Structure 1
Amino acid sequence: MPQYLELSFQGYFLSTDPAKLDLKTIHQFLAYESYWAQGIPMAEVKKSIEHSLNFGIYQGESQVGFARIISDYATIAYLGDVFILEEHRGLGLSKWLMKAIMNHPDLQGLRRWVLLTSTAAELYKRYGFTQLPKPEIYMEKYDPHVYQRHQNQPPLKPPRGIMDDCTNE
């Protein structure tokens, strides 16, 4: 049975047990309140959680915060979908969440951490995050309308020959 991180702080509980996650709360926040995942379908939220190390914060049985890590657990980690519900902000929960993430035993010794933020840079700076020192070497493929375009459509199949350039030589 996997070992899950579980901590308590001022009447709140943090857990990495995915069975405790409230998918409805997470989806509600991401799809309707976040600036980065507007319109994300529930199916995509479920899929993202299935492939991540998830951190949930709870007050009693209610989920009030969330973050997830995508990592190979050896060299790199991406921190994403971080939130504390508005009525629970200002209580130190985001700092507690970040401390738990940064101290998680499976996330030690990584060469690089990555995250995107337009609202909480000061929080992340406390934990060693900095602006990109060489933004000219950073690249991304970004599709801001992916959720709206793909809602209610079957998954696309790759065109014939799409893997032609990926041969083993």
Structure 2
Amino acid sequence: MTDYAIRTDLADMDLDLVHEWLSTDAYWSLGRSRAAVGTAAEHSLNIGVFTADGRQVAYARVVTDHATFAWLCDVYVDRDHRGRGLGKRLAAAVAQLVDELGVGRTLLKTRDAHEVYAGSGFVPVPDPAGWMIRTPPV
């Protein structure tokens, strides 16, 4: 089994690779520009999973105010490394990171990976009717 390391330094992230993953294979971000990936990463906490030889094989991003709220997004595991628990490791690393910050609420949205996040304490939103969203006019 390959040994993996979690890193959180933005300088370690291969944002060209992350852009490729997100813009071509992630249903929530198809077509996202490289500039948008870079700007988002610069203004977020970044978590990467790396092989022993330093190759990045997974990524997650956390948008947060570092005090009260966080949003886990852009979680992606390279197709060749899926099925090895890396999504769960990313979720656990994020939970530890936001707990260390003292953040009281972390949200995420997924259409198909609920079991990946449940092990790190994520549960369905208790009152979804109270949530609202704004999107820019087209």
- For the criterion TM > 0.5, the same-fold answer is yes
8 Å contact kept, 2:45–2:63: yes
Q: How many residues align?
A: 137
Which structure would you say has the larger RCO, counting Cα contacts within 8 Å and 6 or more residues apart? 2
Output the amino acid matched with 1:26: V
Higher helix share: 2
- Counterpart-to-counterpart distance in 2, 1:114 and 1:19: 25
Matches within 5 A, 1:78-157: 78-104=71-97, 107-142=100-135
Which residue of 2 is the match for residue 55 of structure 1?
A: 47
Structure 1 residues 71 and 98, CA gap change in structure 2 (3 angstroms)? same
Query: What TM-score does the superposition give when structure 2 sets the normalisation length?
Result: 0.90
For structure 1, which segment, 91-100 or 68-77, has the greater mean C-alpha deviation from structure 2 after superposition?
A: 91-100
The structure number with the bigger radius of gyration is 1
User: Amino acid of the residue matched to residue 59 of structure 2?
Assistant: F
The one-letter amino acid paired with 1:23 is: L
TM-score (ref. length: structure 1) = 0.75
Residue by residue over 1:34-90, the C-alpha shift from the partner in whole angstroms, topping out at 9 and shown as x without a partner, is: 000010000000000000010011112321000011111111100000011011011
1:73–1:107 CA contact under 8 A, matched in 2: no
Q: Is the contact between residue 8 and residue 47 of structure 2 (CA under 8 Å) also seen in structure 1? A: yes
The percentage of aligned residue pairs carrying the same residue is 37
Letter in 2 for 1:55: I
Quote the offset at 1:142 in angstroms: 3.6
Q: Is the 8 A contact 2:61 2:73 kept in 1?
A: yes
Cα offset, 1:105, TM superposition: 6.5
Residue number among 28, 34, 42 corresponding to 1:36 in the alignment: 28
Cα RMSD (Å) of the superposition? Answer: 2.0
Partner of 1:76: 69
Any gaps of 5 or more consecutive residues in structure 1?
Answer: 1-8, 150-169
Contact 1:16 1:56 in 2 (8 A): yes
SS at 1:32 equivalent: helix
Cα offsets for 1:96-130 (capped at 9, x unmatched): 22211111266443221111100101111222212
Distance 2:35 2:15 in 1: 10
